[in-house]
Structure 1
């Protein structure tokens, strides 16, 4: 679950490979069936798709290069837990859930609630997996029960991503112990998710978000609809999702047409706004609304209409391109990779290695790094995520839960190549 594996797979899958469906649609196919009676002929849009795909590939190379430069063959671990890891995970799971629920009610610090809740979710999944491996029924019931409750709660949100994240967490945690089983189940699981989720999520959103029905009623309706819906209707919904939502290359091509053809590159404007967005509103009461200012370039490029109630924020690759073209993509995503791996290194250094440091702390607090966000939100997430990580580290050090590792003490993490 280190960045070189988890983040790279999600980044490459999301930015580079999912666009195959969009290109098939562009060539006149629906799924793998030719639906257009006209022979394919390259157009200006074809060349924009190719340009954006090359930029995505460049971004992938830059991401991995940045990570490799920060990867340490022998992680420097400076602390270890002073209590049993299994007991600590249970304690951390409960404590972070309660803190996350409390901070979500206080507007000025509500952004910390996401990381805390994510720690609780990751802990519950980790406890469940450790219970399976160690054959401890209590751990399986505690961790599995909490994880199942959270998974069911994610089906009420109307968001596909929250469901997929839960599947990714449990899959990656189980993989080291059940490699063949997970690899065997991976493709059918992905297929089922891609087949069911678009229709399921759209029904939940349309009914619960509008207030027609409660979230529970909408979920039940969505389950029933998926089971009894006509296959043609599901296929139509899914194809729209695969071509326009799963991959964002259509949006990328619209930005590529707009910049620099219709307006010049943004230069440091997006970076400047990203830095200013970090300033707390308590210090700067008249600070701009981050969502509003980040959507301006979306409206300017004609990706979304100002009168529509949508959030179509850019991704790091697009913001890099809008800032300085191809060189902007390389520099920004190269730094993205370096920062992600550096944060993982620091988490392992502070929290005693891979299990607590990388799996729980890093991947929970910095989960936004899995797929990325626009620069304004991403820099904010990194800055305040680091503060949250340090606060947890400071509390554990002060309570003597984490103790400094003796210079001569060896650990499994330090021996692992």
Structure 2
């Protein structure tokens, strides 16, 4: 990969945002320019038009790197899913226009403004990634090929019980999430390695732990972990079984988007509020999702409009800030730093969820008496800090952080497979989702420390050694 890049090319990433600003007085036109602009950014970056993609591996064998997967999941969810909400503002229901519908100009203007920020954030985030992306680089450590499958096997076995242990220790629950994600990635990657090698024992063990993680996702009451569980396994198997993955996993993903809205709604109602045990709630939710029948279209459209995207909530934040509530500037960053102290050392530490929800309630986006948790996305916190400037600066730093940590992981763990595919994707999966500042900083800082500790343990065990 040529490390030299032309800075002028980066301006191309911001053209859709600039053009959408020019048409700001025409909200519908401005929205579609900004929305389609993200697809333009995807094309320009994933085809290497701005900076050449790394040439040390084929495209299929480097999907987990930030320039590809973090960008597709994070920016794809942030920027592209709002189309259904905007269609509803234009009077569409189940993809059919409503006769004599009069759109609300104010809501259209707010949605267009949100989409322009999404487009700016996408451009800034990928700029941060590309600015620091350096491949190939010589890892400081290496792992012998014959030890790789064994390493994944033991990582699968050990990480799941570690997550359970940390969950049981008061004040260390934040580490449970890291090891839970690591267990999920290790089991999926272990399966992808064991299946082509036809190692029966490894396949059985990795499948058991993958199934345990998938069951945890099923009973969680959230759509995201279920979708990610299927998607990640498909991504790991894709380099070896391209045709099978395309024929099976793509239809499965589409099916999940159709049935999960009903499934999650039922399991939350029965398990969260109804006192039903997880097993019974899951069974009932599956039956409801499979037999939703005539209500499928209505339920799916409601999900696409109101739940798939967060643009409606973003509109509420833009309404309140800075007109009613001033920008937070560095207050959210300072608050995020206080959250870093583990509760085991600070038992009276404020509850992170409550800290985050305070600004949600103050903005009026959610009623304080509501049981809904509507934590602001990363781009929302960036906007609340400094408006458009905050979106640019914080999203740029977001991209820099994701890419730098991924490269550090490859340097520490002997390359892409253990470094990015396992450790980075396992410990820093939060980069895919882009949650509030407090959750992002806490996860990244302690994930980085966990990564260094894990590298030290593997060196002591002589699983990885100096290159």
Match for residue 116 of structure 1? 179
2:215 aligns with one of 152, 170, 174: 152
Instruction: Determine the C-alpha separation between the residues in 2 that align with 1:12 and 1:377.
Output: 18
Q: CA RMSD in A?
A: 1.7
SS at match of 2:308: coil
Match status 1:240 vs 2:291: no
SS at match of 2:368: coil
Instruction: Determine the C-alpha separation between the residues in 1 that align with 2:82 and 2:287.
Output: 30
**Contact 2:195–2:203 under 8 Å retained in 1:** yes
Cα deviation code 1:270-328 (max 9, x no counterpart): 11111121123444444322211111111111111111122110111111111111110
Match status 1:275 vs 2:337: yes
SS at match of 1:309: coil
Unaligned runs of 5+ in 2: 1-63
1:166 aligns with one of 196, 220, 229: 229
Match status 1:28 vs 2:94: no
Query: Following TM superposition, by how much is the alpha carbon of 1:401 offset from its aligned partner in structure 2, in angstroms?
Result: 2.3
Instruction: Determine the C-alpha separation between the residues in 2 that align with 1:397 and 1:90.
Output: 17
Instruction: Determine the C-alpha separation between the residues in 2 that align with 1:269 and 1:164.
Output: 34
Query: Following TM superposition, by how much is the alpha carbon of 1:349 offset from its aligned partner in structure 2, in angstroms?
Result: 0.6
SS at match of 1:108: coil
Q: Which has the higher contact order (CA 8 A, sep 6+)?
A: 1
1:55 aligns with one of 103, 110, 117: 117
Instruction: Determine the C-alpha separation between the residues in 2 that align with 1:292 and 1:212.
Output: 24
Query: Following TM superposition, by how much is the alpha carbon of 1:149 offset from its aligned partner in structure 2, in angstroms?
Result: 3.2
Instruction: Determine the C-alpha separation between the residues in 2 that align with 1:283 and 1:136.
Output: 44
Instruction: Determine the C-alpha separation between the residues in 2 that align with 1:155 and 1:242.
Output: 20
Match for residue 132 of structure 1? 195
Unaligned runs of 5+ in 1: 406-417
Query: Following TM superposition, by how much is the alpha carbon of 1:180 offset from its aligned partner in structure 2, in angstroms?
Result: 3.7
Cα deviation code 1:58-91 (max 9, x no counterpart): 1111111101112112123011125611111111
Query: Following TM superposition, by how much is the alpha carbon of 1:236 offset from its aligned partner in structure 2, in angstroms?
Result: 2.2
2:155 aligns with one of 67, 82, 92: 92
**Contact 1:24–1:31 under 8 Å retained in 2:** no
1:334 aligns with one of 396, 413, 416: 396
Query: Following TM superposition, by how much is the alpha carbon of 1:356 offset from its aligned partner in structure 2, in angstroms?
Result: 0.7
The size of the alignment, in residue pairs, is 403
Match status 1:307 vs 2:365: no
Match status 1:76 vs 2:138: yes
Instruction: Determine the C-alpha separation between the residues in 1 that align with 2:380 and 2:177.
Output: 25
Matches within 5 A, 1:340-359: 340-359=402-421
> When the two structures are superposed, what TM-score results if normalisation uses the length of structure 1?
0.92
Cα deviation code 1:16-63 (max 9, x no counterpart): 1110110111111112111x3324445111011001001001111111
Match for residue 378 of structure 1? 440
